[in-house]
Chains A and B, each alone.
Chain A
Amino acid sequence: MSRYPHLLSPLRVGPLTLKNRVVFSAHLTNYAEHGKPSEQHAAYYAARAAGGAGLIITEEHGTHVTDWPYEKLIHGFDPGVIPGYRRITDAVHAHGVPILAQLNHNGGQASSMFSRLPVWAPSPIADPLFREVPKALELHEIRDVVDGYALVAEHCVAGGFDGVELQCSHSSLVRGFLSPATNVRTDAYGGVLENRARLLLEIVAAVRSVLGPARALGVRLCGDELIEGGTTIEEAVAVARMVDATAQVDYINTSIGVATATLYMIEASMQVPPGYAMFIPSAIREAVSIPVIGVGRFKDPVQADRAIAAGQADLIGVVRGQIADPDFVRKARSGSAQDIRTCLSCNQECVGRMGLNRWLGCIENPRTGREAVVLPMPTRRAQRVLVVGGGPAGLQAAVTATERGHRVTLLEKADRLGGQVPVAASVPSRAEFLDITRNLAAAAHRVGVDVKLQHEATADEITADGPDAVILATGAVPARPWWAGDLAQVVDVRDVLEGRAAPRGRVLIVDELGFHQATSVAELLADRGCFVEVATPGMVVGQDLGITLDLETWNVRADAKGITQLTDVVPMSATEGITLTLQHHPTGADLTRTVDWVVCAVQQRADDALWQALKGSPFPVHRVGDCVAPRRAHAAVIEGHRVAVAL
Chain B
Amino acid sequence: MLTESFTIGSRTAPSRVLFGPHETNLGSDRALSDRHVAYYRERAVGGCGVVVVETASVHDSDWPYERAPLAADCGPGWTAIVEACSPALVLASLGHTGGQGSSAYSQQPLWAPSAVADAVSRELPMVMEDTEIAVLTAGFGTAARLAMASGCAGVEIEAGDRSVLRQFLSGITNQRGDDYGTDKARLLREVIAAAREAVGDGLVALRLSCDELAPWAGVTPEHALELVPTLDVDLLTVVRAGPYAGSAYRPDAHAPEGFNKALCASVKAVARCPVVLQGSVVSAAFASSALAEGACDLVEMTRAQIAEPALLQKLRTGAAPRPCVLCNQGCRVRDARNPIVSCIGEPRSGHELSDALPVDGGSGEVLVVGGGPAGLECARVLALQGFSVEIREATEVLGGAVLDAALGAGRERLRSLVAWLAAECDRLGVKVVLGHEVVAAELSSYSGRVVLATGSNARDTGWVDARDALRGTLPDGPVLVHDPVGGPVGVSVAEKLAADGRDVRIVSQDPIVGTLLSLTGDLADCNTRLQQLGVPRELKSLLRRVSGGSALLEDVWTGAQRAVPAAVVVDCGPRLPREELYETGTLRAGDCVAPRTILEAVLEGRRVALELGA
Complex Cα spacing A639 to B107, Å: 8
B519 to chain A, nearest CB (A): 9
A140 CA to B555 CA, complexed, in Å: 41
Contacts of B603 in A (CB 8 A): 116
How big is chain A's contact interface, by range? 35 or more
Q: A628 to B575, Cβ gap below 8 A?
A: no
Are A603 and B115 touching (Cβ within 8 A)? yes
Report the separation of the CA atoms of residues A91 and B584 in the bound assembly, to the nearest whole angstrom: 47
Q: Which residues of B contact A136 (CB under 8 A)?
A: 577
**Which A residues lie within 8 Å of B336 (CB)?**
356-358
- Alpha-carbon gap, A555 to B560, bound state (A): 12
User: Would you list which residues of chain B between 117 and 154 have a CB under 8 Å from chain A?
Assistant: 117, 119, 122-127
Is A609 part of the contact surface with B, judged by Cβ < 8 Å? no
**Would you call A590 an interface residue if the criterion is a C-beta within 8 Å of the partner chain's C-beta atoms?**
no
Interface membership of A487, Cβ < 8 A: no
A119-B594, A358-B104, A631-B123 in contact; A539/B110 too (CB < 8 A)? no
A515-541 vs B: 1/0 string, CB under 8 Å? 000000000000000000000010110
A333 at the interface (CB under 8 A from B): no
How distant is B598 from chain A, measured CB to nearest CB, in Å? Answer: 13
Q: Give the contacts of A43-101 with B (CB-CB under 8 A).
A: 70-71
CB distance from B528 to the nearest CB of A (A): 4
Decide if A113 touches B337 in the complex (CB within 8 Å): yes
**B478 CB–A CB distance under 8 Å:** no
Q: How many A-B residue pairs have CB under 8 A?
A: 120
B531 in contact (CB, < 8 A): yes
A628 touches B600 (CB 8 A): no
What CA separation (Å) do A560 and B584 show in the bound complex? Answer: 54
Q: How many angstroms from the CA of A133 to the CA of B579 in the assembled complex? A: 14
Contact, CB under 8 Å: A357 / B109: no
Contact B124 A631 (CB under 8 A): yes
B103 close to chain A: CB less than 8 A? yes
Contacts of B531 in A (CB 8 A): 568, 584, 586-587
Query: Given the known A-B contacts A112-B596, A113-B339, are A559 and B558 also in contact in the complex, defined by CB atoms under 8 Å?
Result: yes
Interface hit among A124-132, A424-432, A451-459: A124-132
Which of B487, B524, B558, B584 touches A131 (beta carbons < 8 Å)?
B487
Contact of B596 among A133, A140, A568, A635 (CB under 8 A): A133
Is B596 a contact partner of A606 (Cβ separation < 8 A)? no
Q: Mark A96-123, 1 if CB is under 8 A from B, else 0.
A: 0000000000000000111010110000
Task: With both chains docked as a complex, state the minimum distance between the C-beta of B256 and any C-beta of chain A, in angstroms.
Answer: 21
- Which residue in A125, A540, A587 is a CB contact (below 8 Å) of B511? A540
Distance of A552 Cα from B509 Cα, bound (Å): 12
Note all chain A residues with C-beta closer than 8 A to B527.
539, 568, 586
A612: nearest residue on chain B (CB-CB)? B129
Tell me the nearest residue of chain B to A541, going by C-beta: B511
Residue B532 is within 8 A (CB to CB) of chain A in the complex: yes
A98 CB → nearest B CB, Å: 33
Tell me if B105 counts as interface (CB < 8 A to partner A): yes
Residues of A close to B516: CB separation below 8 A: 131
Partner of A628, one of B66, B126, B512, B558: B126
Determine whether the beta carbon of A124 is less than 8 Å from that of B122. Answer: no
- Cβ A133 vs Cβ B595 within 8 A: yes
Provide the residues of chain B in CB contact with A568, threshold 8 Å.
Answer: 527, 531
**A590–B125 alpha-carbon span in the complex (Å):** 30
Q: A357–B66 contact, CB under 8 A?
A: yes
Interface assignment of A630: CB less than 8 Å from any CB of chain B: yes
A564-607 CB contacts (< 8 Å) to partner B: 568, 584, 586-587, 603-606
Residues of A close to B557: CB separation below 8 A? 552, 555-556, 559
Cα distance, A322 to B396, chains bound together (Å): 64
B576: CB under 8 A from chain A?
yes
B125 touches A629 (CB 8 A): yes
Collect the chain B residues with CB atoms within 8 Å of residue A635's CB: 103, 107, 109
Whether A514 is near chain B, meaning CB under 8 Å from some CB there, is yes
1/0 contact string of B565-602 vs chain A (CB within 8 Å): 00000000011110000001000000001111000100
CB <8 Å contact, A586 and B528: yes
CB distance from A379 to the nearest CB of B (A): 23
Within the assembled complex, what's the spacing in Å between the Cα atoms of A628 and B124?
Answer: 10
Query: Which residues of B, 142-189, contact A by the 8 Å Cβ criterion?
Result: none
CB of B102, distance to nearest CB on chain A (Å) = 9
A215 beta carbon closer than 8 Å to chain B? no
Taking A131-B486, A134-B594 as contacts, is the C-beta distance between A559 and B560 under 8 angstroms?
Answer: yes
CA distance A537 to B557 in the complex (A): 22
Q: Are A586 and B105 in contact (CB under 8 A)?
A: no
Report A-chain residues with C-beta under 8 Å of the C-beta of B8. Answer: none
Chain B hits for A128, CB < 8 A: 509
Interface assignment of A513: CB less than 8 Å from any CB of chain B: yes
Taking the nearest CB of chain B, how far is it from the CB of A138, in angstroms? Answer: 6
Check A512 against B122 for contact (C-beta < 8 Å): yes
Residues of B contacting A114 in the complex (Cβ-Cβ under 8 angstroms): 339
Contact with B along A614-647 (1 / 0, CB 8 A): 0000000000000011110001001100100000
Verify if B5 is at the interface (C-beta below 8 Å from A): no
Picked from B66, B105, B485, B600, the residue with its CB within 8 Å of the CB of A118 is B600
Q: A568-B531, A603-B124 are in contact. Are A133 and B339 (CB under 8 A)?
A: no
CB contacts (< 8 Å) of B561 on chain A: these are none
Indicate if the CB atoms of A132 and B584 lie closer than 8 Å.
no
A631 to B527, CA, bound (A): 29
A353, A555, A631, A635, most chain B CB atoms within 10 A = A631
The answer on a CB contact under 8 Å between A118 and B115 is no
Report whether B524 and A539 are in contact in the complex, using a CB–CB cutoff of 8 Å: yes
A306 within 8 A of B: no
Asked whether A357 lies within 8 Å of B558 as measured between CB atoms, the reply is no
Q: What's the Cα separation between A618 and B558 when bound, in Å? A: 60
B594, A133: Cβ atoms closer than 8 Å = yes
- In the complex, which residues of chain A have a beta carbon less than 8 angstroms from the beta carbon of B337? 70-71, 113, 357
For B109, B110, B486, B527, which residue has the most chain A Cβ atoms within 10 angstroms? B109
Q: Are A628 and B122 in contact (CB under 8 A)?
A: no
> How distant is the Cα of A119 from the Cα of B531 in the complex, in angstroms?
35
CB neighbours (8 Å) of A404 from chain B are none
Residue among B107, B485, B540, B594 having the largest count of chain A Cβ atoms under 10 Å: B594
Whether the Cβ atoms of B593 and A118 lie closer than 8 Å is yes
Residues on B with beta carbons closer than 8 Å to the beta carbon of A586: 527-528, 531-532
**Cβ 8 A contact of A135, one of B555, B574, B594:** B594
Q: In the assembly, what is the distance between CA of A113 and CA of B339, in Å? A: 7
- A-binding residues in B (CB < 8 A): 66, 103-105, 107, 109-110, 115, 117, 119, 122-127, 336-339, 347, 351, 484-487, 509, 511-512, 516, 524, 527-528, 531-532, 540, 555, 557-558, 560, 574-577, 584, 593-596, 600, 603-604
6 contacts between A and B (CB under 8 A): A113-B339, A118-B604, A126-B485, A131-B486, A568-B531, A606-B126
3 A-B pairs with least C-beta separation: A586-B528, A629-B126, A126-B574
Known: A71-B338, A133-B595, A631-B123. 19 other contacts (CB 8 A): A124-B577, A125-B574, A128-B509, A131-B485, A133-B575, A134-B594, A136-B577, A353-B104, A356-B336, A512-B117, A540-B512, A556-B558, A559-B560, A586-B528, A603-B115, A603-B124, A629-B115, A629-B126, A639-B109
